[in-house]
A and B are shown apart, each in its own frame.
Chain A
């Protein structure tokens, strides 16, 4: 039985991780798709979410922190966009480097405020510890993570597919000139999309913090899988990001069973295989991002 238990545990871990990756990747892709900016600071903003929650939780409790910390991160993103907007329409390198600088600065700010040490964050009391189902013990908190991630993914889908704002965002990514010609203030839309994308990073950070210990470099570790998820799923595809997230999550979960030390490299292997097979990613379509 132990192998089966182990297998199921790792499968579940992979699933939870995959959903979380999908949330991070979608926030990243929202910015990438609308502004053609690779937001390198996505990881740092993810970390910032965790740290904001760390600061808020003792005062307002877990749920309020879950709501407030990402809003704080979103505000940081809103401010950042005023700098980033000067790189729109120029070589993608400039946006990349600008956000790269922002990532360095944010990471150092985190060090200044909270120090370099790691923090372990406890899960809220009502989901502390594991639950038992037959022979299987599984962390209650991870189940909550999966539920929250699913809710977030659903909310993004609803926003993009069922609201007029989502239509504007998608149209702006597709043909910005036409959107402007229709009298829509695209600068404001982009500003808000950037804030929304960073909000997603922040909320993922809050959710992930109790699973991973919080340290200044946590952002860099979280953003790499997100990059890969986006490429595997296909840039610009909502379902691609979810599929890619689940694949990367499951692959690293399962490879933990076989080659625990090499599990990071497995996602790169996955990336290489997918790109050889489908150069645009699983659900990617020819888009303006390809240039």
Chain B
């Protein structure tokens, strides 16, 4: 039993789940609101999935907001015009984003480093423009409104309406719990071992006989599926799909969320990063109209002074000399790009 727990839901994860379970009761006391908690969990699913690519495989994808947004649009369009309902559109949103991601992954799977980043930026903005151009279906700048949070339950037995924010919170909570465990299992799986090997040294992994391009393709597609799922939930939360989550700006946000929490160092980093980020966003926007300036400066400060993220910091304290094989720090230059060294 104990080992089962450790393998599927280790203690920190249980603690996190417990925290989110009681959060709606606590939030009003500390000046928050239920919707903020919902938003944190949705973005956490997005960020945990994205961190498969960034933190665990070491691939700097920079256009993932696009797939997050696509999930919402696919959900909305299928709910409105094709299938109706809630679960099927959510599945379609996930698959739609995954398929788009799989197509992009064909182009980027053989790249890494800066080239990978550049290409994902380019393809990410392609989807962003596409949403504006296909405004007959997507609603363009106004977004695709009228997405319904239909009731969930077992037909004939019970139905839980999701209109209420608290009910919707626990709906998202249940999915958050399931997906966190799923992503954790992916990291712990043989597949997860291979992608972490790719992070440490792609040439070594491929010398061991792994088709690294195929693994990179798969992990990219997978992270897009999680992005699409989270994006679908986000469109339910906001009763509509809007272009703004697809902007490069939001793609950058999810990267920084992973980084600031310590996504390179810890599985839970992205969740912490999301929470810190969304709270700061709320705080900044109440402080000044020009919060984007603060935001940008914060971005720069984090890169300069806290590149390992918050959880990376605690790890550094605990282990003064991080050993290379934990993957706690991004490999130093010599490891990935020694000039004249092995490519």
Contacts and interface: CB of A to CB of B under 8 A. Distances in A.
Interface of A: 32, 36, 38, 83, 86-87, 89-94, 96-98, 100-109, 111-112, 175-177, 220, 224, 227-228, 230-231, 235, 261-262, 264-265, 268, 271-272, 275-276, 279, 288-291
Interface in B247-278: 248-249, 252, 255-256, 259
B332 to A, nearest CB: 8
A96 B126 contact: no
Interface stretch (B11-19, B35-43, B292-300): B292-300
Given A38-B118, A91-B60, A175 B340 contact: yes
A291 B252 contact: no
14 contacts: A83-B304, A91-B336, A92-B113, A101-B300, A105-B292, A105-B297, A107-B292, A107-B296, A108-B293, A108-B296, A268-B123, A288-B337, A289-B114, A290-B115
Contact of A291 (B256, B290, B343): B343
Contacts of A105: 292-293, 295-297, 299-300
Shortest 3 CB-CB contacts between residues of A and residues of B: A101-B299, A105-B296, A104-B296
A98 B117 CA distance: 14
Contact of A86 (B252, B302, B304, B340): B304
A36 to B, nearest CB: 6
Interface in B276-320: 290, 292-293, 295-300, 302-304, 307
B2 interface: no
B122 interface: yes
Given A98-B304, A104-B292, A264-B133, A291 B299 contact: no
B339 A101 contact: no
B91 to A, nearest CB: 27
A1 B130 CA distance: 33
B226 interface: no
Given A32-B114, A104-B292, A235-B115, 6 more contacts: A98-B299, A105-B293, A108-B293, A108-B295, A111-B290, A264-B133
B133 A96 contact: no
Interface stretch (B67-75, B104-112, B190-198): B104-112
Contacts of A107: 292, 296
A100 B252 contact: yes
A288 B338 CA distance: 9
A82 B287 CA distance: 29
B87 interface: no
A108 B295 CA distance: 10
Contacts of A103: 296
Nearest to B341: A288
Contacts of B166: none
A230 B296 CA distance: 26
